Structure 1
Amino acid sequence: MSDYIWKKGSSTDVDARVMRFLAGEDVVLDRQLLPFDIRASQAHARGLARIGVLTAAQAEAMTESLDALAAAFASGEFVLDARYEDGHSAIESWLTERLGEIGGRIHAGRSRNDQVAVALRLYLKDRLARLARFCADIARICLERADREQAVPLPGHTHLQQAMPSSLGLWWAGHAEAFVDNLALARQTAQWLDASPLGTASGFGVNLALDREGVAAELGFARLVVNPQYAQNARGKVELRALDALSAATGDLRRLAWDLSLFASQEFGFVRVPANFCTGSSIMPNKLNPDTVELLRSLHATVVGARTELDNVLSLPSGYQRDLQDTKPPTIRGFERGLAGLELAPGMLSGLEWQTERMRSAIAPELHATDRANELVGQGQPFREAYRQAAAEIDGLGRRRAEDSLRARISPGGCARLELGTLKTRLEGLLDASLE
């Protein structure tokens, strides 16, 4: 490993075992953060030039050298590995090796504390934008299929027992609205954490008139984290809220995947999952297993586990503590795994093949009892009396058709009035707002 950027001289003893423990997963995790760290370093260099700490030529040399680092990292020519303590030290090492003493000036007016804080916020803004995009993709496919299949009968269930005739349109629209909400939450969360901590240094400010506002604007932040202490105290807090937005989406995906797990079983036989999202058994030649559905179902556990781990790290006093290093592993693990699963969902959903006759034939006569009770209410009976009469008439409900039941469900959002236009308008409005 190259010299640590915090060493004061040759007398500083460094125990290799201690350093391995302290570094933890930083080098590996910082591979996700390095592009954002490079961007922030370039903006910081230009900000230092604006206040005279660097010359314009020095800032330009740093910026060009960091462009080269970004390109080398993207191509695989540069690898962030055990030579470095973390991504921050790799950046400084790169600059000093290529620019000499000029490279050592990059750290003026900042600490690794605000350096990692700004990289994490940039990372979270990027990942929340991806989350919003995947939620929009899922919602769009659900709405498209709800429109095409709105009148296809599907047995509705409560308590895993058959309840009333329902429709594919209602089922698809229910999941669509969930992901429209998740899109909105991802956007709101991104706006909430859209503040730059860069320039707060170790949590106390610095004796330089830093152009914090200019640097924040260059990095695309809407505002500053004003107070240096809060810049440190917010570490972990913003990650928690970002994971909350992610967990809302993976939680809804888990419910959708559960439905498909049941519907795809031979006992239900309502749907076929596309073969390219399935695998076979290593021993049973007859098996085609919906493994993607099942792992999308368990995906939420990874995100919630990450959130729980992160929350337990944050039992800390004000200011920076080294414990905060341990906010990175769960945050990055949760987002990388969670987004990888959400990205797969649209393709799988678009390829589902419904077994419509199997679904229609599964609707037993007694599922029409609630419709019968409501008809009696419409004729003037009190509901409780109608409820008892409908229960007594169950044996005579066999001639009813599911399609007639669906057409009669005219309450807003019901099978005959899905309000798909309302959901589409809301989705489009959220997408249009993101472009402003």
Structure 2
Amino acid sequence: MSRSSTLLASFGISQFGDFVYLVAINVYLYQLTGSAAAVAGLWIIGPLAALLTKFWAGSVVDRADVRRWLIGTDLVRALLVALIPFLSSLPMMYLTLFGLAFVKAFFEPAAIRYLTQMIPESGRKSFNAYRGLITSSAFLIGPALAGLLLLVATPDVAIWINAGSFLVSGVLLLTLPSVSHATLSTVRLSDIRTDWRMVSRFSRTNWFVSRIYLVGILSMSLALAMDAQEVVFLQTVVGLTATDYGLLISITGIGSVLGGLTVARFANRLSLKTLLVSGYLFVAIGYLMYATAGSFLIVTVGFLLLGFFNAFAGTGFMTFYQNNVPQALIGRFTSLYGLGQSVIQILLILAIGFTGDLFPLRFSIIADSVLLSLLSLILIRHVLQPDKEAFFRDDRRPNKFRNT
């Protein structure tokens, strides 16, 4: 098995486990407490852990052997997940889930850095396309598998399967080489301040790269805010049933898989500009159709566009980011910008929920989709600038930032 195939298998297996776990943990917690509020608390833990860790997680990751770090986080997550069925109190459950979110805050920048180091620039577009395809497939198949497991077994079994997926992921990573022999030393407060200044300096001197990245994460945050109100909007405003909603989710998943297959098949023929422009343009159109829809058919077309072209936008965005942020800085860059993204996501989710109480929910969703469309047009305008062509080549990196 090639290195890229092993990487895809490692991350893919853990992602399938994550989607099984996502369904199982909600069912398990509701069975344990009988409280919808307790289940809702799950969605607070992740952003809270991110706020407490992302401002310094990248400083640790960029000073470590990221392969060992990834293996360690897989093993810790496997242990914590395996313990969940033995917990009987809500505080202990939340504490364990916070530990999982805490570890994940380190896993994400470490994964980005390791992938960037392992996959050469000429192969990143194709690799990211296949990784997106695996994510889409996990999104479609994982919950269905979880539902089947819950029919024939208990939530405990589904949760232990997720723990096993982390173990398998870690074992696969053991077969891959280390790409850095860095030794983690104690990270002091002064180191974190230096890292903040370093990321700030890179952002100022490479403002075009930072601007594309900022617009991208703002767009993702707006999409997440709309997704948080998706069920309420479709059932109370559009008038769809729970069955309709389940069908729409399946249709979106199928669209995502088809989009992932298309990008993976034609990755070497599709330029970064094509991926970014077509992806963000049609995703924006999809959200506008969703926001203004009055029937199941219009929502279906909008969701198909979202599912299909998210694969284009995601592959283009990730490849652009990996090609233009230096490997030695990418962990810190990911974490620090991720901290801002977490804050923005929380504020937008609260804002759309709050305005939904003051104004018709349709108004809030349309306003959000219009703002997302404007951001998409801004990104497209930047991408199409003739003098920025060097930033979108697959075989070279335009900036020469070295002071890391």
What is the TM-score when the length of structure 1 is the normalising length? Answer: 0.26
Q: Bigger relative contact order, structure 1 or 2, given CA contacts below 8 A and separation 6+? A: 2
What is the TM-score when the length of structure 2 is the normalising length? Answer: 0.28
Higher-Rg structure is 1
